[in-house]
Structure 1
Amino acid sequence: MKLLLTRGRRLNPVYVAFMAISFMVGVAGALQAPTLSLFLTRDVAVRPFQVGLFYTVNAVAGIVVSLLLAKRSDTHGDRRMLILFCCLMALANAFLFAFNRHYLTLITLGVLLSSLANVAMPQLFALAREYADNSAREVVMFSSIMRAQLSLAWVIGPPLAFMLALNYGFAVMFMVAAALFALCLVLVWLALPSVARHELSPEVLLTHTRLWKDADVRMLFLASMLMWTCNTMYIIDMPLYISSTLGLPDKLAGLLMGTAAGLEVPAMLLAGYYVKRFGKRRMMLFAVGAGVLFYLGLVLFQQRNALMLLQVFNAIFIGIVAGLGMLWFQDLMPGRPGAATTLFSNSISTGVILAGVLQGTLVETFGHYSVYWLALLMAVVSLGLTARVRDV
Structure 2
Amino acid sequence: MKRLDRMIHVQAKLISSIKNRTSLVWKIPTFPILLMLNFMFGLATSLFIPFSSIFGLDEVGMSNVAYGIFMTIMAIGGVVISTYIGKLSDRNVSRKLILIVSSVAAIAGYLGFAYVRDYYILCFIGFFLLGIASATMPQLWAHAREVLEQSDVPKKEVPYVMNVFRMFTALAWTVGPAFAGWILVVMDFEGLFMLVSLGFLLCIFAIFVFLKDEPKKVDMTGKQVMLGKFMLRPHIFANIIAMFLLHAATTINMQNIPQFVTKTLGGTEAHVGVIFSVPPVFEVPLMIMFGIMATRWDLGKLIKLGFFFSFAYFFLIWNVTEPWQIYPLQILSAANVAITAGLAVTYFQNFLPKEPGTATTLYMNAQKIGSTLGFLLFGYFSSLFDYQNVFTICILFTGIGFFVLLFFGQERKHKKVAEF
- CA 1:4–1:219: 2 relative to 1, 3 Å: closer
Q: Is the 8 A contact 2:92 2:220 kept in 1?
A: no
Pairwise CA distance, 1:119: 0.9
TM-score, normalised relative to structure 2? 0.76
Q: Is the 8 A contact 2:235 2:410 kept in 1?
A: no
2:406 aligned with 1:384: no
Q: Which of 215, 220, 231 is the matching residue for 2:250?
A: 231
Q: Comparing 102-111 with 32-41, which one deviates more in the overlay? A: 102-111
Q: Is the 8 A contact 1:162 1:254 kept in 2?
A: no
Distance 1:228 1:71 in 2: 24
Aligned length: 385
Alignment partner, residue 156 of structure 1: 175
Q: Comparing 315-324 with 98-107, which one deviates more in the overlay? A: 98-107
Residue by residue, what CA displacement relative to the aligned partner does 1:275-327 show, whole Å, maximum 9, x if unpaired? Answer: 57765455334322321233335444475534433321211222212234455
Q: Which of 216, 224, 238 is the matching residue for 1:205?
A: 224
Larger radius of gyration: 2
Q: Which of 116, 120, 124 is the matching residue for 1:104?
A: 120
Q: Secondary structure at the match of 1:382?
A: helix
2:40 aligned with 1:24: yes
Matches within 5 A, 1:95-244: 95-134=111-150, 136=152, 140=158, 142-166=161-185, 168-196=187-215, 200-201=219-220, 205-206=224-225, 208=227, 210-211=229-230, 214-236=233-255
Q: Comparing 68-77 with 20-29, which one deviates more in the overlay? A: 68-77
Pairwise CA distance, 1:189: 2.3
Q: Is the 8 A contact 1:159 1:257 kept in 2?
A: no
Alignment partner, residue 9 of structure 1: none
Pairwise CA distance, 1:226: 0.7
Q: Comparing 187-196 with 199-208, which one deviates more in the overlay? A: 199-208
- CA 1:247–1:169: 2 relative to 1, 3 Å: farther
Amino acid in the other structure paired with 1:2: L
- CA 1:329–1:373: 2 relative to 1, 3 Å: same
Q: Secondary structure at the match of 1:205?
A: coil
Q: Secondary structure at the match of 2:401?
A: helix
Residue by residue, what CA displacement relative to the aligned partner does 1:76-96 show, whole Å, maximum 9, x if unpaired? Answer: 443222212211222222222
Determine what percentage of the aligned residue pairs are the same residue: 23
Distance 1:334 1:65 in 2: 20
Q: Secondary structure at the match of 1:34?
A: helix
Pairwise CA distance, 1:247: 8.1
Distance 2:59 2:262 in 1: 15
Q: Is the 8 A contact 2:163 2:291 kept in 1?
A: no
Q: Comparing 205-214 with 314-323, which one deviates more in the overlay? A: 205-214
TM-score, normalised relative to structure 1? 0.81
- CA 1:243–1:68: 2 relative to 1, 3 Å: farther
Distance 2:214 2:359 in 1: 24
Distance 2:67 2:193 in 1: 18
Distance 1:285 1:157 in 2: 29
Residue by residue, what CA displacement relative to the aligned partner does 1:147-192 show, whole Å, maximum 9, x if unpaired? Answer: 2211211122122223333565333333332222222122222222
Distance 2:310 2:32 in 1: 35
Distance 1:194 1:214 in 2: 31
Alignment partner, residue 310 of structure 2: 291
Q: Is the 8 A contact 2:90 2:355 kept in 1?
A: no
> Structure 1: which 5+ runs fail to align?
7-11
Q: Is the 8 A contact 1:53 1:357 kept in 2?
A: no
Distance 1:297 1:134 in 2: 45
Q: Is the 8 A contact 1:223 1:382 kept in 2?
A: yes
Amino acid in the other structure paired with 1:87: S
2:107 aligned with 1:85: no
- CA 1:279–1:118: 2 relative to 1, 3 Å: same
Distance 2:295 2:363 in 1: 21
- CA 1:197–1:34: 2 relative to 1, 3 Å: same
Pairwise CA distance, 1:131: 4.2
- CA 1:105–1:390: 2 relative to 1, 3 Å: closer
Residue by residue, what CA displacement relative to the aligned partner does 1:342-367 show, whole Å, maximum 9, x if unpaired? Answer: 54334323313422332343456667
2:24 aligned with 1:2: yes
Pairwise CA distance, 1:64: 0.6
Distance 1:227 1:246 in 2: 25
2:68 aligned with 1:52: yes
